[in-house]
Amino acid sequence: MSEGLDPTTPAEAVEWYLAQRDPELSEKSLQNHRYRLDRFLEFCEEHEIENMNTVTGRDCNRYRVSRSQDVKPVTLRGELQTFRVFLEFCAAIDAVEPGLREKVQIPEVEPSEEARNEHLSTERAKEILDHLERFEYASRDHITFAILWHTGIRLGSLRAFDVGDFDRDGQCLDLRHQPDTGTPLKNKKPAERSIAVGPHYCTVLEDYLEHNRHDVTDDAGRRPLITSSQGRLSQNAIR
């Protein structure tokens, strides 16, 4: 262990790092950082690393290799980028040797791997909508697909809608940024707006609300528009 370093457990370092980043990151980004660094904490537990002072370049390489066996290169790249920033923070609080972050090798990723270029064609979308209209009318899948296709909103935006955001007379859905109760919007308050639905899908929405929506509230006592029997649908479930 080098002189001048302050003993710090990996868990303490991660919590301090997240607290330092909290004011500048969105809730979703902070969750991503926590998830990525949880993988490092699992590595530390597996290899009995109890003090960040003892982390070496060799440990960083072992961590990189172990993660490369579990995730795709583009995911590994994101995890290691966060890990490098974390190590920079650790050096600033005298938990690791300065410059340790430079020993974390970031993998090269082909441009084709960085983003998925799969697009749903208009023809295919119409086929899906026709099928839903005929065989799954006013179901949750019908509402979910129709709103996403016709409005182009994000999954997180769709998830944020409450029953009260549906304005039948105005034929629109009112999108609101509500981070304190679990539905932040990526662009925060500037993303708030009314989104036109149209007369046909207003009728479909009404039928969904009357016949197929689970009559539930979420943990904040709100009545989500898109539901499961447990409450507000998650982004993964919507996807």
Looking at the fold, whether 22 and 96 belong to one and the same domain comes out as: yes
193-196 β-sheet, strand order = 166-167, 172-175, 193-196
Q: What does the pLDDT look like over 38-67, one tens digit per residue? A: 999 999 999 999 999 999 999 999 999 999
Instruction: State the DSSP H helix or E strand holding residue 174, giving kind and residue range, or none if neither.
Output: strand 172-175
Q: Are 7 and 51 in contact (CB under 8 A)?
A: yes
Q: Number of structural domains, the chain?
A: 2
Q: Is 0.75 surpassed by the pTM of this model?
A: no
Looking at the fold, whether 29 and 134 belong to one and the same domain comes out as: no
Q: What does the pLDDT look like over 188-209, one tens digit per residue? A: 888 889 888 888 999 999 999 9
Looking at the fold, whether 56 and 154 belong to one and the same domain comes out as: no
Task: Please state, rounded to an integer, the average pLDDT across all residues of the chain.
Answer: 89
Share of the chain residues as helix, strand and coil, in percent rounded to the nearest 5 = 55, 10, 35
Identify the domain boundary among 87, 114, 141.
Answer: 114
Instruction: State the DSSP H helix or E strand holding residue 85, giving kind and residue range, or none if neither.
Output: helix 73-92
- Report the alpha-carbon distance of residue 64 to residue 45 in Å, rounded: 15
What is residue 18's predicted lDDT score, i.e. its pLDDT? 95
Buried b (16+ CB within 10 A) or exposed e, 123-132: eeeeebeeeb
Please check whether residue 146 lies inside any domain of the structure.
yes
- Could you tell me the CATH number of the domain that includes residue 207? 1.10.443.10
Identify the domain boundary among 58, 91, 114.
Answer: 114
- Could you tell me the CATH number of the domain that includes residue 90? 1.10.150.130
Per the structure, the complete domain to which residue 24 belongs is given by 10-114
User: What's the token pair of residue 116?
Assistant: 């998925």
Looking at the fold, whether 214 and 230 belong to one and the same domain comes out as: yes
